[in-house]
Structure 1
Amino acid sequence: MPSWFAAGVYQGTLGGQPITLQLKRPAENNDEVGAYFYQSRQIDLTLHGSRRGKALILAEEVWSGPEKGLQTSGCLALTRVGDSLTGTWKSPAGKRLAVSLKPLKLAAVPLKLLDTAQVRKLRAEQPLDFLKLNTAWPKRADAEGSVEEPLTGIVYPRVAGASAALAGALQDRQLAAAQSALECQAQLGDSAGKGDGFTLEAQVTRLTPKLVSLHESAAYYCGGAHPDNFDEGVILSRVSGQSVKVTALWPGLSGAKQLALYLAAYPSDGGDPECSSLIQSSAEPSSSDPQFAAWLTPKGLSVVPTFLPHVAAACAETVTLGYGQLRPLAEEKGRYFSDLYPR
């Protein structure tokens, strides 16, 4: 890299079109030095850096599908003038466009989202995503008072009368999903087809005086051999917005116990017995890591395995463990007992 090279975020124009560009120090044995996006498109183009004299040379790459792979779609040659960057962009066919960039002070960008630790971390560590997502998110006219992130279309429910901490936690979960959608778009590049990308369906499944629970179902195809999907269970404190573990509700519901109860109730429709064997062999009952996505419903705790290999994903059936069935595993003096078993 040229001696003047420094990490930072810049905004300006390329051929008269507004762009935002980030430079960062490359990792060892890696020449990736940042990315940029056009305001009109808002999809990152990866930049690989080198030096030619005092000029910084940035080759932009875009994924063009499995047949063509990564393609160099342009090359920027930039020099520093004061604190600004100027130069040209050149297409593979030889077309040249002027580039003019000035540094952006991220700390001075007003927050349009709730001020949470995750938003501040996003601004510091992934400024391009921050600048795309730090916008006004409109409310939708639905029963759950959902909010839509306008760039990715990710929708997430809200809770009426939520504490500031809970409102921030719900926003953060939506923010993480929107980041996943942006990353997926960048990976697809020019190869995106109809139905490709990242989608999320989220709904509130249970509200108690102290808890809110949600179920998230994500589906995505970001390139590669097959599309994929996953489920997430969310249980949050309505006061602190912090995640509440299943074992805080039922101390006796260890991973091994979840597996035993799940297998006893599976399959609910008398399905393929091979799935039961596969689930049992794929599980790690001794592990302290969660083996199931779990969320509260009016009938009980719904669980679905998260440890199955992709080829066995069809075996991941949701099973609901009833509150009565789980009561012996709870503690009557526990913080949330009265929420789950009101008198």
Structure 2
Amino acid sequence: MKPLSMKPLSLTRCRSLAFLLCAGLASGAAAQDQELKACGGAAGAPAWAAATIKSGGIYRGTVGSLPVALQLGAGADGVGGEARYYYERKGINIELTPFRSGESLILQEEVWTGPMEGLVVTGCLTLSRTAAGLTGIWAKSNGLGKLPVRLSPMNVLGMALKLPPSPGLLKLKTADPLAFLKLNHAWTAQAGGKSVREPLSGIVYPRVLGASAALNAALQDQQLGHAVSALDCESMLGSSDMDEGYDLNAAITYTSAKLVSLREDAGYYCGGAHPDNFSVGVMLDRATGRAVSLSAIWPKLTAARQKTLYLAHLPTEVDAECRDVLPEMGSEFTFHLTPAGLNLTPTSLPHVVGACAETAVLPFASLKADANPQGAYYREFYR
């Protein structure tokens, strides 16, 4: 694993990328945002827009002839004061900072252009309220290139689902309605139904042939989370000319009558000096789609015992330097199953030794004493 390094961004802007360490990056962005004021007006929004900004109202319409969707304020996550929009043909969020001039709402369009220039104002939307929604103009910060803007309010909560219903999709509808609008469309089955591709983000995720509706919903939600992260990552790259972003390799590693397990390996560069990556193990109940904890199968496999067994089963190719480092690590692992056994991968290593996060395989037979003979999954492994 490589150390995390990203461009500065506010806490609100990184809300969908749960795996990123956003808190340490917020202060630089806040200071820089305060220096940007290219569209005129005073800080804040006119009174008529304040309630909409607080609730995160959603609008759809056009800038010139191009379809767009806009969220006026952060909304459901409880963070007000920001806005964002995207052009539907690209699906990439553009951040907007509100200002006011009399009764006009000015939304300053800000795009990340890389670590050298940072955030740059790329346009100004000047909007007025009408009975039908919002109207106004988009223009460059110098006042040139004016385009008409027409936006109508949307009832996202009332929209029909274009994907099978799943807990994650329903949550996204309220928590991040712009992401819901981007991803609520038909996805593409591949390889005879063994995988599905989300077209806008390009994220591909495996499926289990003959799976229950609940398991399919769980796999869809796993993919949904990565698709949101991929689109957010691309938004944070802004106009950077680096051909980077978010890549996922997910594979089914184990199936049995009651269980399915996967491993997800993601690599991403969302701006900054260096890319990063992470691995996550997934284990699901085939009937219910619910996540299965390690303790549901091996209740005696405590964190301390996991570490002891991990160190005892390190792959032979692990070098001496890593063998010196790994005993000092914490006892936090992600896990997945393969026919060879339980796979443990460290998740608590410091960035500087992230490359030592090798996966160790604990044979099922060696864990029989840690298992619960009365557990629902015992006979998946032991007779």
TM-score (norm 1): 0.93
Does residue 126 of the first structure (1) align with residue 170 of the second (2)? no
| Match 1:182 to one of 231, 246, 256 | 231
Q: 1:136 aligned to 2:180?
A: no
> CA–CA distance in 1 between the matches of 2:80 and 2:196?
39
Q: Distance in 1 between matches of 2:316 and 2:376?
A: 32
Contact 2:61-2:151 at 8 Å conserved across structures? yes
1:31-80 deviations in Å (ceiling 9; x for gaps): 84210011122110001001110011100110001111100110111010
Q: Give the C-alpha shift of residue 276 in structure 1.
A: 2.4
Measured after TM superposition, the shift of residue 108 of structure 1 is 3.0
What letter matches 1:323 in structure 2?
F
CA distance in 1, matches of 2:197, 2:69: 24
- Higher RCO (CA 8 Å, separation ≥ 6 residues): 2
Q: Structure 1's 85 and 219: CA in aligned 2 closer, same or farther, altered over 3 A? A: same
Equivalent pair of 1:59/1:72 in contact (CA under 8 Å): yes
Amino acid corresponding to residue 277 of structure 1 in structure 2 = D
| SS state at 1:191 partner | coil
Match of 1:92 among 120, 133, 141: 141
- Identity percentage over the alignment? 47
Partner of 1:226: 274
Structure 1 runs (4+) greater than 4 angstroms displaced: none
Alignment pair present for 1:10 and 2:59: yes
Q: How does 1:50-69 map to 2 (within 5 A)?
A: 50-69=99-118
Of the three residues 308, 330, 335, the one matched with 2:371 is 330
Task: Report if the CA contact (8 A) 1:211-1:235 is conserved.
Answer: yes
- 1:231-275 deviations in whole A, cap 9, x for unaligned? 110000111111111111111111111111111122422x32231
Q: What is the TM-score when the length of structure 2 is the normalising length? A: 0.83
- Aligned partner of 1:198 in structure 2 is 246
In structure 2, the residue corresponding to 1:213 is in which secondary structure?
A: strand
Distance 1:17 1:267 in 2: 55
Residue in structure 2 matched with residue 282 of structure 1 by the alignment: 329
1:215 to 229, 245, 263: 263
Paired amino acid for 1:107 = L
Deviates more, 1:41-50 or 1:172-181: 41-50
Q: Report the CA distance between 1:83 and its aligned residue.
A: 4.0
2:351 pairs with 1:302:
no
Tell me how far 1:90 sits from its aligned partner. 1.4
CA contact (8 A) 1:300 1:320 kept: yes
In structure 1, what is the equivalent of residue 164 of structure 2? 114
Q: Which runs of no fewer than 5 residues in structure 1 stay unpaired?
A: 286-290
Secondary structure, counterpart of 1:130 in structure 2:
helix
**Residues 197 and 222 in structure 1, CA contact (< 8 A), matched pair in contact too:** yes
Structure 2 match to 1:78:
127
Equivalent position of 1:252 in the other structure: 300
For 1:156 and 1:134, how far apart are their aligned partners in 2?
16
User: What is the distance in 1 between the residues matched to 2:234 and 2:259?
Assistant: 34
Give me the whole-angstrom Cα distance separating, in 1, the residues matched to 2:184 and 2:215.
Answer: 19
Q: Which amino acid aligns with 1:136?
A: A
Deviation at 1:295, TM superposition (A): 0.5
- 1:25 and 1:122 map into 2 onto residues whose CA distance is 14
Backbone CA RMSD of aligned residues: 1.7
Q: Tell me the amino acid that sits aligned with residue 157 of structure 1.
A: P
1:9–1:103: 8 Å Cα contact kept in structure 2?
yes
Number of residue pairs matched? 331
Deviation at 1:188, TM superposition (A): 0.3
- Partners of 1:118 and 1:136 lie apart in 2 by 16
Mapped to 1, the partners of 2:74 and 2:374 lie a distance apart of 53
